[in-house]
Amino acid sequence: MDAKDEEFLKRLRATFRVEAEEHIQGLISGIIELEKSPKTEKAAVIIETIFRDAHSLKGAARSVNMKDVESICQELESIFGKLKNEKFLLTAAQFDLIHRTIDNISKMVSGAGLKTPNDNSELIKHLRSITEEDEKEKNVETKTKVVKKSSEGTKKNILAENSLSADIELVDEKLFRSETVRIPTAKLDPIFLQAEQMIQYKIAAAQRTKELKSINDSIDSWKKKLGKQAIHSTAEGGSKLKEIIDWNSERLNELEIKIAEVAHVLENDQRSLGRMIDDHLESMKNVLMLPISTIVEGFPKFVRDLSRSQGKEVELVIIGKEIEVDKRILEELKDPLIHLVRNCIDHGIKKPDERVRLNKPSSGKVTLSFNATESRHLEIIISDDGIGVDLDKVRSAALKSGMIAKDSLEKISTQEILSLIFQSGITTSQIITDISGRGLGLAIVREKAEKLGGSVSVDSMPNIGTTFRLFLPLTLSTLRGVIVRTGENLFVIPTLYIDRVVRVNCEEIKTVENKETIIIDGKIITTVNLGNVLGLVNKVENKLNRKNVTADHLNFIQLIILVHADKKIAFEVDEILEEYQILVKELGKQLSRVHNISGATILGSGKVIPVINVPDLMKSALRTDVSFKELSEKETETKKKYKILVIDDSITSRTLIKNIVETAGYIVETAVDGVDAFTKALIGGFDLLVSDVDMPRMNGFELTAKIRKEKKLSELPVVLVTALETREDREHGIDVGANAYIVKSSFDQSNLLEVIKKLL
Amino acid sequence: MKKTRTELEQENLDQKIILHEDERNTILKARAQTLAVEIKDVTTKKDFIEIMEFSLASETYGIETAFIREVYPLKDFSPLPGTPPFVLGIINVRGQIISIVDLKKFFNLPEKGLGELNKVIIVQNEQMEFGILADAIQGTCSVPLDAIQNSLVPTIEIGTGYLRGVTSDHTIILDAEKILSDEKIIIHQEAE
């Protein structure tokens, strides 16, 4: 086949798959509905719908040349056709067969397990038997039917009426469809990102307006000063001077008026721009609101299959699936919901005979109820009428995993025991099945809920049932977070977890049982260094060095006390910056989960700041034993530290060199080019410079030459690191006064450190 | 009467056509053959891949353009504590957060040489997406598949799995699909 044709067919098949999935979904929900209520008037409408679905699917399959799908749909269509025209009821076994058939179609459509034609023909044979069996029965019945004919006639009338109303519904649906456009979500996501990114420019515009106003303010004070001068100068009688001053004030007035005009217009522009951006973002958020039905569509089928495979009878009731929720929340929600429903069936609901023994209806009931609260939250209640959580099993599992000590077991309340099931490693299941019982699931559910800014709780009554309650925001709302600095790194800590922020004197920190603690409100709280817990050891050492050097005016330390699951820990940080409204984003596809970090946020300036996962951090903090004092003691043992300035315009090279030099135990500061470096060198008191050559504004050669000319710095050793490899370049470097010249192509950690060691 | 030049040429032409039938056949055959070769060329055109060449620590690498989303200048990045050394950090690409991978560290290549490292090549397939750190972008070119040698040059210490081979110009062609779908590149640190 021609490549073009192949490409075309491929595209066609992709379109077909989307269409087919819709029909298949329609078939599945229709059949499940029919199985539940086979005799009601609704049944006729359902049959009509599934008949059409089967018919359309058949046609679509024919157009893409999928003969297997086509022929099997033909059989389904004739069964449904028969159902439609002559009322007869399908048996449970026949329902099973139809479900199996649809499963098969779905597999064939997705191209997953390509079924052998043999398998298919087997199914077709079975399907055909349904219609044929009925045929036989009817032949027997024909005679009796004649008598019944009159009543049959009225029945037909009812049916006709029903199909009429179905037709009306269909018309409505068509109208609705013509106003809807199908857009792949992959296309919507970047638009949403762009809308979000515009906030950055909204903030920037507001900033510019402010700046312009402050320019005018400085002009104003300039004018005032000039006015005073004018009074003095007239007193002194300098008419020429007065003339100059007058002329200047006039120009200043004009300038001030012009700037004020621009500022005014800019302010208006900025305001309408801001409003537009907000509105746009709001509309984009609405576009991304999808009904819950988009994720729970497959649930009835899933529940049916799972309960059948375990020999249980379970009815699933879904309430409130029309509620619209942010697509990004829905995406995250599907797996936890599946897990919770699975949990109800696996652990909660027992086999029919056991249920009957407990005086319950043989069929279990799982309810999935969605409810939008007034506080713009989504409340999800997953409940079952099963046996409830076996508290004794949870207790013994918790004991076994060492989560609680034996003697404290009696003190723990029932509610606390229940909440233990969200801990990873706790399972009450005797056998580990492939779907649950590994004790990880509920921990993941809790983690997901917390990540979305929500919570999960559980309630259980023995032999009455278990209820899980998820409480989530409807939109991926912005979170409030405080930005903190440790060393050179900034992090966001969600305000939700912050108990308080305090500044304390170093002296107040006491070592208890080899742990740093502080007493706040009469309670002893463990104190750790944030950078230390996060594993930023270099930076902490660096900071401590500085601390040793200038110990006298660093008596105060900044603590931020975090609280999670009734535990409080004080984290030492270098600085607490502002509190912001932030939007937590994923770290990208590659970083699926990183310790202590839940995501990242983008500031108005475009800067990316990691967001701390506080529950994780608290756990890490308890594991970190290297205490603050130990570190500082270790530090004081070592001798004087040299200070080195690293200059490179490339951020990666700069960071790389900095890390190498820092790891070797030097104190490092950085500069981005020669101009920056020279200013820093003048005041920084450095012992050595490591500089790139090719840089904007002032290159490495110029910088070296300038340093050699400056009296204060003339003795400062300079190491040039460069991509320029020729002899002339090397000579040029020596000419301007560099002490060492390292060529980038042969650069490595050891030769740089060797050179530094030699020069110091 | 002297024949005009055109007449002479016409005569020559006629002679050629009429007299040398054998010769004509050979010419036609030769033509047919060249044509046949050309058609064969057309079919082999499929065996070219388009790559983007970039330099990284004095070596030239190539990545199939089909996997490249864009090249982004690296001005600033935020390091992430706790991640393995091959994860440089994260950047903001028009509101989307992208992680950056240092291939030299990922391949465990010796830390020799220092480049500019101020470009990020964002690579993607259906499941994965991240940025690769690069020194400089050299451009794109088409490379015939049969010009890629699979026998490895001894200087290359990257695992064979990640390479498609080396061209005659010593461009090391990376197997983007393999790198993108390698489980080792995914960071997933479960809560402890």
Question: DSSP string of A349-378?
Answer: ---HHHHHHTTS-SSEEEEEEEEE-TTSEE
For residue range A694-705, list pLDDT tens digits in order: 888 888 888 888
Q: How far is A244 from chain B (nearest CA, A)?
A: 48
Lowest mean pLDDT among A339-353, A524-538, A546-560, A634-648: A546-560
pLDDT at A166 over 50: no
Q: Which of A727-744 are b and which e, b meaning 16 or more Cβ less than 10 Å from the residue's Cβ?
A: eebbebbeebbbbbbbbb
pLDDT at A625 over 70: no
**pLDDT value of position A550:** 46
DSSP string for residues in B91-153: EEETTEEEEEE-HHHHTT---B------EEEEEE-SS-EEEEEESEEEEEEEEEGGGSB-SPP
Domain A480-636 has CATH 3.30.70.370: no
Q: B117 contacts in A (CB within 8 Å)?
A: 650, 652-653, 656
Could you tell me if A326 and A295 are in contact, meaning their C-beta atoms sit under 8 angstroms apart? no
pLDDT at A720 over 60: yes
Query: Is ipTM > 0.85 here?
Result: no
Locate the chain B residue with the closest alpha carbon to A189: B96
**Environment class of B49 (CB within 10 Å of its CB; exposed 0-12, middle 13-18, buried 19+):** middle
Rounded CA separation A498/A561 (Å): 6
Lowest mean pLDDT among A391-400, A630-639, B45-54: A630-639
pLDDT at A539 over 50: no
Could you tell me if A423 and A403 are in contact, meaning their C-beta atoms sit under 8 angstroms apart? yes
Could you tell me if A365 and A223 are in contact, meaning their C-beta atoms sit under 8 angstroms apart? no
Mean pLDDT of A546-560: 62
Out of A600, A623, A744, closest to residue B114 by CB:
A744
Rounded CA separation A613/A191 (Å): 28
Q: How far is B107 from chain A (nearest CA, A)?
A: 16
**pLDDT value of position A272:** 92
Lowest mean pLDDT among A387-391, A479-483, A693-697, B180-184: A387-391
- Counting every residue, how long is chain B? 192
Q: Are β-strands A688-692 and A643-647 bridged in parallel, bridged antiparallel, or unpaired? A: parallel
Structure-model confidence comparison of residues A475 and B18, the more confident one? A475
Token pair recorded at residue A280: 């746009």
Contacts of B33 (CB under 8 A, 6+ apart): none
Rounded CA separation A142/B16 (Å): 93
For residue range A571-615, list pLDDT tens digits in order: 999 889 888 777 788 888 899 888 899 889 887 677 899 999 888
Q: How far is A161 from chain B (nearest CA, A)?
A: 49
CATH of range A3-178; options 2.60.40.10, 3.40.50.620, 1.20.120.160, 3.30.70.2190 = 1.20.120.160
> CA triplet A460, A464, A465: central angle to 5 degrees?
50
Q: How far apart are the two ends of chain A, measured CA to CA in Å?
A: 73
Out of A586, A600, A745, closest to residue B58 by CB:
A745
Token pair recorded at residue B111: 């830390």
Rounded CA separation B90/A488 (Å): 16
* Domain parsing of chain A, residue ranges: 3-178, 185-287, 291-473, 480-636, 639-759
- Residue closest to A562 by CA, chosen among A609, A485, A496: A496
Average pLDDT, chain B: 80
Lowest mean pLDDT among A77-91, A105-119, A499-513: A105-119
Q: How far is A630 from chain B (nearest CA, A)?
A: 22
pLDDT band at A135 (very low <50, low <70, confident <90, very high): low
Continuous segment of H or E residues that includes residue B89: strand B87-93
pLDDT at A283 over 80: yes
- Residue closest to B47 by CA, chosen among B179, B164, B174: B164
pLDDT at A376 over 70: yes
pLDDT at B150 over 80: no
pLDDT at B89 over 80: yes
pTM for the model:
0.54
Out of A594, A607, A615, closest to residue B80 by CB:
A594
Interchain CB distance below 8 Å, B90 and A615:
no
**pLDDT value of position B129:** 93
Mean pLDDT of A472-480: 71
pLDDT at A149 over 70: no
CA dihedral A614, A616, A618, A619 (to 10 degrees): 170
**pLDDT value of position A143:** 46
Contacts of A455 (CB under 8 A, 6+ apart): A449, A470, A471
- Out of A29-33, A541-545, B40-44, B77-81, give the one with best mean pLDDT: B77-81
Q: Domain A291-473: which CATH class?
A: alpha beta
Interchain CB distance below 8 Å, B91 and A608:
yes
Q: Say yes or no: A601 contacts chain B, CB-CB below 8 A.
A: no
pLDDT band at A491 (very low <50, low <70, confident <90, very high): very high
Average pLDDT, chain A: 77
Rounded CA separation B129/B101 (Å): 11
Out of A587, A592, A656, closest to residue B114 by CB:
A656
Q: How far is CA A418 from CA A392, A428, A438, in A?
A: 10, 12, 17
Mutate to test the interface with A, among B91, B92, B122, B181 (most CBs of A within 10 A): B92
**pLDDT value of position B153:** 54
Q: Say yes or no: B114 contacts chain A, CB-CB below 8 A.
A: yes
- Out of A5-14, A666-675, A717-726, give the one with best mean pLDDT: A666-675
Interface list for A 188-217 with B (CB within 8 A)? 190, 193-194, 196-197
How do the residues of chain A divide into helix, strand and coil, expressed in percent and rounded to 5? 60, 20, 20
Percent of chain A with pLDDT over 70: 81
CATH of range B47-185; options 2.60.40.10, 2.40.50.180, 2.60.120.10, 3.40.50.720 = 2.40.50.180
Structure-model confidence comparison of residues A434 and A188, the more confident one? A188
Q: Say yes or no: B98 contacts chain A, CB-CB below 8 A.
A: yes
Lowest mean pLDDT among A103-107, A141-145, A493-497: A141-145
Q: How far is B79 from chain A (nearest CA, A)?
A: 8
Mean pLDDT of A664-682: 86
pLDDT at A33 over 50: yes
* Domain parsing of chain B, residue ranges: 5-45, 47-185
Lowest mean pLDDT among A61-75, A148-162, A171-185: A148-162
For residue range B10-36, list pLDDT tens digits in order: 766 666 556 567 888 888 888 888 777
**pLDDT value of position A299:** 87
Rounded CA separation A112/A507 (Å): 67
Rounded CA separation A71/B181 (Å): 38
Q: Which amino acid is at B102?
A: D
Q: How far apart are the two ends of chain B, measured CA to CA in Å?
A: 110
Residue entry with tokens 């079952």: A384
Lowest mean pLDDT among A120-134, A343-357, B121-135: A120-134
- Counting every residue, how long is chain A? 760
Q: Residue A53, CB half-sphere, CA atoms under 13 Å: how many?
A: 23
Query: Which numeric CATH code is attached to A639-759?
Result: 3.40.50.2300
User: SS3 sequence, A585-630?
Assistant: ECCCCCEEEECCEEEEEECCCCCEEEEECHHHHHHHHHHCCCCHHH
For residue range A43-80, list pLDDT tens digits in order: 778 888 888 888 888 888 877 778 888 888 888 888 88
Lowest mean pLDDT among A6-15, A72-81, A271-280: A6-15
Rounded CA separation B57/B71 (Å): 18
Rounded CA separation A319/A301 (Å): 16
DSSP A348: I
Rounded CA separation A322/A295 (Å): 11
- Residue closest to B173 by CA, chosen among B65, B45, B58: B65
Interchain CB distance below 8 Å, B112 and A746:
yes
Interchain CB distance below 8 Å, B127 and A589:
yes
pLDDT band at B98 (very low <50, low <70, confident <90, very high): very high
